[in-house]
């Protein structure tokens, strides 16, 4: 974890529209920019919340440790994501851990005055809108895990992460997020390779037949 001091870098991130969609202008002076390296925890399950964090760049995984000691991946996200909204509103300890999967940039608002935030209608509206959006995405993902095949979910994932036809797959994370076994995911990838829908070059994959992936894509 590194608190960024360079003014120019800070201003670049604070100028992004995502910031103002979450934090009203009168909180801008309280915000700080923090960088997390791969595998660092932005927050840990069962700790007390000390800051609201908005992920503005980078990919994170949201993990819930179960009573049997196993970790369950709730989500893998690279979209702007507010961390701590549930805990702020409910007053409980942190519900799930958030771990950086690569270098992640986070804008944080230290919770020096919780009552001020909870009394601010503009801020509460923005937080409520964000929670509703998160619930919407979670409902879609849950329905997809139940109602769609691994093949359809894999095709949708590939099209969401590819960059000029190239992409990488984090297999263990992907299997958890799909709610399927690692072996089943490997079989599906092998099927895509054998049918020349995708090809593999080292650690990278390439799309070979986009039309088939588009046919398999899940449309919410």
**Do residues 105 and 152 share a domain?**
no
Element (H, E) at 36: strand 32-36
Rounded to whole angstroms, how far apart are CA atoms 11 and 14? Answer: 5
Question: Domain tally for the chain?
Answer: 2
The residue range of the domain holding 80 is: 2-123
> How many angstroms separate the Cα of 147 from the Cα of each of 110, 140, 189, 220?
41, 10, 19, 12
Specify the pLDDT at position 18: 76
**Do residues 42 and 119 share a domain?**
yes
Specify the pLDDT at position 140: 66
Q: Does residue 206 surpass a pLDDT of 90?
A: yes
**Do residues 97 and 181 share a domain?**
no
Q: C-alpha angle with apex 73: 159 to 129, nearest 5 degrees?
A: 75
**Do residues 119 and 163 share a domain?**
no
Structural domain ending residue among the three candidates 62, 88, 123: 123
Whether residue 3 contacts residue 34, with contact meaning beta carbons closer than 8 Å, is answered with yes
Label residue 72 by pLDDT band (50, 70, 90): confident
Rounded to whole angstroms, how far apart are CA atoms 47 and 55? Answer: 19
pLDDT in tens, 41-64: 999 999 999 999 999 888 888 888
Average pLDDT for 202-220: 90
Specify the pLDDT at position 36: 95
**Do residues 72 and 17 share a domain?**
yes
Average pLDDT for 178-192: 91
The domain that holds 204 is classified in CATH as 1.10.10.10
**Do residues 151 and 119 share a domain?**
no
Structure tokens that stand for 117 in this block: 């935030």
**Do residues 82 and 168 share a domain?**
no
**Do residues 52 and 153 share a domain?**
no
Specify the pLDDT at position 146: 65
**Do residues 17 and 111 share a domain?**
yes
**Do residues 66 and 160 share a domain?**
no
Label residue 144 by pLDDT band (50, 70, 90): low
**Do residues 66 and 167 share a domain?**
no
Whether residue 104 contacts residue 11, with contact meaning beta carbons closer than 8 Å, is answered with no
């Amino acid at each position: 974890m590194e608190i960024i001091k360079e003014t120019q870098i800070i201003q670049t991130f604070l100028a992004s529209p995502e910031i103002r969609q979450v934090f009203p202008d009168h909180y801008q002076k309280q915000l700080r920019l923090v960088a997390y390296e791969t595998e660092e925890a932005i927050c840990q399950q069962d700790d007390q919340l000390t800051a609201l964090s908005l992920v503005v760049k980078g990919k994170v995984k949201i993990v819930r440790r179960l009573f049997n000691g196993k970790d369950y991946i709730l989500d893998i996200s690279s979209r702007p994501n507010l961390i701590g909204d549930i805990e702020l509103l409910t007053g409980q300890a942190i519900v799930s851990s958030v771990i950086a999967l690569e270098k992640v940039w986070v804008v944080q608002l230290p919770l020096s005055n919780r009552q001020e935030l909870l009394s601010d209608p503009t801020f509460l509206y923005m937080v409520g809108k964000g929670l509703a959006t998160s619930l919407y995405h979670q409902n879609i993902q849950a329905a997809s895990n139940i109602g769609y095949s691994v093949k359809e979910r894999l095709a949708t994932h590939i099209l969401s992460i590819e960059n000029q036809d190239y992409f990488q797959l984090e297999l263990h994370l992907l299997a958890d997020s799909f709610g399927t076994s690692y072996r089943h995911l490997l079989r599906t990838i092998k099927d895509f390779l054998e049918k020349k829908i995708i090809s593999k070059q080292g650690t990278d994959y390439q799309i070979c037949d986009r039309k088939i992936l588009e046919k398999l894509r899940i449309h919410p």
